[in-house]
Amino acid sequence: MQIFDIFIPLLIQPLVNVMVVMYALLGHNFVFALLASTILVQLITWPLTMQSMSSSKKMQALQNSPEWKDAQKKYKNDREKMSQVTMELYRKHGINPAAGCLPTLIQFPLLIAFYQAINVLLAVNPETLLDMTRYLYHNIPFIADIAKQTVPLQSTFLWLNLAHPDPYYVMPVLVAASTWLSQRTMSMPSGDTQQAAINNQMQLMMPVMIGWFALQVASGLSIYWIISSLVRMAIQGFTQGWGNVLPSGLKLPAGIKLPGRLSAARPAAKKVAEPKPSSADVQVKPETPPRKPDQPVSSNNGAKGEGKRRARRRARR
Amino acid sequence: MACGGASPATGFSHPVFAQDTLYVGSTGGKVYALDPANGNKKWTFPADNSKIAVLYSAPIVGDQYVFIGSSDKKLYVLSASSGEKQCEFETGDSIIATPAYANGVVYVGSSDGSLYAVDPKQKNDKGQCARKWEFKTQSKVWAEPLIVGDKIYVASLDHHLYALNLNRADNDKPLWDFSAEGAIASSPRFADGLLYFGSFDNNVYAVSAADGKKVWQYATENWVWADPLVVNNLVVIGSLDHNIYALDSKTGQMKWKFATGEGVRAAVSGKEAIVYAGSEDRNVYAINVSDGSKVWEYNAVDKVLAAPALVDGSVIVQTNNHKVYALDAASGQKKWEFETDK
């Protein structure tokens, strides 16, 4: 048994069966089935994503704190001591330094599982269709009945044969664009200039890599990736507010409110996204010097105290 | 099962014995003509080191031709004596189905959803074999069509079995069609006025060849992809539920079942007392028709997805590891093996 075989009963098999049911329920349309399954999976994994985002925020706040900066300055020539102090600070503020990687770590097994499930369901060759019988839950009559009536699944959508790469390269471009957008909205700005540079680089590299990957694989998988990026952003919008989700510079017309928390248009929401050492956001001691009376809260919003109030609300949550 | 995802395409073309020659569409994508006595090669197509594509269709022989469909969407018409290509016919998608041949016309189903009637002696202005007619179904046609008299029966993954006149025009409606609950990839077989076939709805069906009315059905526990064999008033057929079933051809009542270790996709072969079957469990089995008891088994090292061929006391099987084995029909002892190009 190979190590990856663990994915079969844990992820791939359930996904295959869920998607077969969705396909039957949603008018025998594979893309609709993919959409419904993606939303379901993103909702299931959302608590983990939230946890890691919270951890990222704490980390970001810590990195912006004078405590951190002082330590960096003080021990810049003593790596060992620096790492000791860093770990101490992490412990003190209850930060798990690995937690920030969670969203990515979650997405990759899911990507692999969806990749395998899509290949199985679209049956690119007769051998794969033959294999599909091993993935189906034959002992659940409801699923077995649905499967025998729906297999083989229709693999055409618009101009695409979902089992093959997009011949017109539209999907790879959309995959790269949605990855870039999703990363921009999900990532936390870092106070550490080196880290910020790495983040920026990653934000460019990842879309290119994923886009290149989309050139080679079934367009059904590209559709999954686009949907999952959009769904993640939508869930973030509903739970965290649309301020972070909407691209900077995009202002909603006056009077339009999006559903979900913090549905305010971009200017007000921007403050939340700014890497401010907000004490309410994290449990880092407010060691920042008091703001001078003439210092503006936000460069583009006159609503003084709005950011603080919002931060307090989130701290209470 | 592979570690999820798409299994590699290896094909499952079964060997065919005709005109003193064994024809094999290899898992490596070539057509071989072998001497059935010793496995010596007579010719290959393509003759050089190239290959066609993955082959699921078996090479059938009619008049002086060998016909074989390929996953490169083409039906190839070869000289049976030399392997030289006579003409080809391109369809809209891969050809998985084995063709059928009668009265100078070859009939082949394609994954583009159509059954084509092709005249191998006529060429169109593109230099391809000429199309006589086309019958469109709603899904892929993966089953070998069956010709009985002036009728042709073709199954489709659209859940239907259609009866057509051999001499028809493009737009002629089918004589009748039978609807199963699942896709049909099993090729129908005919005996005593009935057509027998399996379906992905787990059932084995017997329908009247005259009007398509169902006579009986028998439910297995998984998809039935294999073609049936009708022998001694029994319908012997494998299921992906790992079993080979022997059903009374008149009533559908089960007489015996034989358990293998994995799914049985390949058709069972045989004539009278003993039938031979390959399984995904990598074994070839010889089974007594009378009671379903095992006569012998041979471990073929890799999955056996293609039906065995019977040649003068030998059982010829092709496995997924690019090997063709000739086994003694009585004992299961290996007589020779031939390794095809990978």
pLDDT in tens, B41-68: 999 999 998 999 999 999 999 999 999 9
Percentage of chain A with pLDDT > 90? 18
* CB-nearest partner of A148 from B54, B157, B182: B182
Q: Are B195 and B154 in contact (CB under 8 A)?
A: no
At residue B189's C-alpha, the angle toward residues B187 and B192, to 5°, is: 160
DSSP symbol at A12: I
| Average confidence (pLDDT) over B174-187 | 97
Sign of the dihedral defined by the CA atoms of residues A62, A64, A66, A68, in that order = positive
Q: Look at residue A13 in the predicted model and tell me its pLDDT.
A: 93
Grade residue A285 by pLDDT with cuts at 50, 70 and 90.
very low
CA A105 to chain centre: 10
Q: Look at residue B334 in the predicted model and tell me its pLDDT.
A: 96
CA A170 to chain centre: 22
Tokens 């367009």, residue located: A219
The residue that leads in pLDDT, A310 or B138, is: B138
Grade residue B80 by pLDDT with cuts at 50, 70 and 90.
very high
Q: Look at residue A182 in the predicted model and tell me its pLDDT.
A: 81
Q: Which contacts of A32-35 are long-range, i.e. CB under 8 A and separated by 24 or more positions? A: A34/A118, A34/A220, A34/A223, A34/A224, A34/A227, A35/A227
Grade residue B304 by pLDDT with cuts at 50, 70 and 90.
very high
Q: In what order do the strands lie in the sheet with B323-328?
A: B309-311, B314-318, B323-328, B334-339
pLDDT above 90 (res B229): yes
Tokens for A130?
A: 């033959």
Percentage of chain B with pLDDT > 70? 98
Mean pLDDT for chain B?
Answer: 94
pLDDT in tens, A122-158: 888 899 999 898 899 988 999 999 998 898 998 888 9
At residue B199's C-alpha, the angle toward residues B18 and B109, to 5°, is: 50
Grade residue A27 by pLDDT with cuts at 50, 70 and 90.
very high
A29-43, A83-97, A175-189, B321-335: range with highest mean pLDDT: B321-335
CA distance A287 to B223: 69
Grade residue A103 by pLDDT with cuts at 50, 70 and 90.
low
**Identity of the residue numbered B142:** W
pTM here is 0.79
Q: In what order do the strands lie in the sheet with B214-219?
A: B189-191, B194-198, B203-208, B214-219
What is the number of other CB atoms lying within 10 angstroms of the CB of residue A161? Answer: 17
Residue of chain A whose alpha carbon sits nearest to that of B13? A126
A1-10, A63-72, A217-226: range with highest mean pLDDT: A217-226
3-state secondary structure of A128: helix
Residue of chain B whose alpha carbon sits nearest to that of A115? B5
B9/A125 touch (CB, cutoff 8 Å), yes or no: yes
Mean pLDDT for chain A?
Answer: 74
CA A93 to chain centre: 24
CA distance B80 to B107: 18
3-state secondary structure of A43: helix
Q: Look at residue B94 in the predicted model and tell me its pLDDT.
A: 94
Tell me the residues of B at the A interface, defined by beta carbons under 8 Å apart.
1-10, 12, 54, 56, 71, 96, 139-140, 142, 157, 181-183, 200-202, 221-223, 225, 240, 263, 265, 305
* Sequence-distant (≥ 6) Cβ neighbours of residue A205 within 8 angstroms: none
C-alpha dihedral (A248, A252, A258, A264), degrees to nearest 10: 70
CA distance A232 to A242: 12
CA distance A134 to A9: 11
Quote ipTM for the complex.
Answer: 0.89
Q: Look at residue B160 in the predicted model and tell me its pLDDT.
A: 98
* CB-nearest partner of B9 from A112, A113, A127: A127
pLDDT above 70 (res B101): yes
| Average confidence (pLDDT) over A45-59 | 75
